[in-house]
Amino acid sequence: MDIADLRVFEAVARLGVMNRAADELNTVQSNVTARIRALELELGVTLFDRHSRGVSLTPAGRRLLPYAEAADRLIGDAVRAVRDDGRPAGPLIIGSLETTAALRLSPLLTRYAAAYPAVDLAIQTGTTAELVEAVRDHRVEGAFVCGPVSHPELEEEVVFREELVILTSPAIASLDHLLNTGEVRIVGLRAGCSYRQRLEDLLARRGIVIPRQLEFGTLEAVVSCVSAGLGVTLLPKALIGTVWREGRVAVHALPAAEGRVETLFIRRRDGYRSSALEAFLKVARQAQTFAEAAE
């Protein structure tokens, strides 16, 4: 068994059809079929169940798949490491919370692009839960998420610190007023949003059960619905800016223990660390230093 065998196996397992795997591997189906049969013979187990729609993994195949995926990633990392001469260049995919992207990343990205024009930087937004999985699955090199995050495969670094506040319609004068309104509806981003979970926990500690929630795909939609009195939300205070000053929403401060949150940068402990990523983190740390000095 060698890395070529594992690559063929991984492609067939992922695509579920021999001819599609052959197309991806730039070979013929008979070659893929022969390689899989030879691998099964060598290991003494059946890796795939054959059926009219293609193939599916057997229990033995499912046990082999993580090792095949890890071997392929290791080879890819080795190639990138050899080609990386220390000058940041090439693709770099970073994940980010939408709030962090809106609040913190614009000046950071401007400085980074100016300093390292050879890097093709892409930002993918998502919830904390989505971004943790993206880092674990090697789909992004790292991601800005809401802390705390505790996972044995990941290492984390505090990059930004935020003050969280509850936003309501201007008709809600105080949190006590909110508690006395009876039913409270949360307006937030999709499931997996860490701020939404924090708000649920915060209200639960005050005896409020959340029967209904409204989900939206953008922050502007969230703020608009809160302004209209359709519910409440929890966001970083620094993000509110204009809508607060225009009176579209009421802003309610929280005790420090509930209102302080750390934005972390997470990455895999065993992942390849490109020069592009290391340079990005250097710029991010400088951005945090500037932000703290300005406060």
Q: Are residues 251 and 280 in the same domain?
A: no
Total domain count, the chain: 3
The string of DSSP codes covering 114-173 is HH-TTEEEEEEE--HHHHHHHHHTTSSSEEEEESP---TTEEEEEEEEEEEEEEE-TT--
Q: Are residues 148 and 180 in the same domain?
A: no
- CATH, residue 112: 3.40.190.10
Q: Are residues 185 and 49 in the same domain?
A: no
Domain enclosing residue 281, as ranges:
90-161+261-294
Q: Are residues 135 and 271 in the same domain?
A: yes
Q: Are residues 188 and 254 in the same domain?
A: yes
Q: Are residues 237 and 267 in the same domain?
A: no
- CATH, residue 20: 1.10.10.10
Q: Please choose, from the candidates 184, 189, 224, the residue with its C-alpha nearest in 3D space to the C-alpha of residue 202.
A: 184
Q: Are residues 166 and 254 in the same domain?
A: yes
pTM: 0.74
Q: Are residues 198 and 238 in the same domain?
A: yes
One digit per residue, pLDDT tens: the chain, 295 residues? Answer: 888 899 999 999 999 999 999 999 999 999 999 999 999 999 999 999 998 888 999 999 999 999 998 888 888 888 888 888 889 999 999 999 888 888 888 888 999 999 999 999 999 998 888 999 999 988 999 999 988 888 888 999 998 888 899 888 888 888 777 777 666 788 877 666 778 888 888 888 877 776 567 877 777 888 888 888 888 888 888 877 766 667 788 888 888 888 888 889 999 988 788 999 999 999 988 877 655 555 5
Q: Are residues 197 and 56 in the same domain?
A: no
Q: Are residues 182 and 248 in the same domain?
A: yes
Q: Are residues 73 and 46 in the same domain?
A: yes
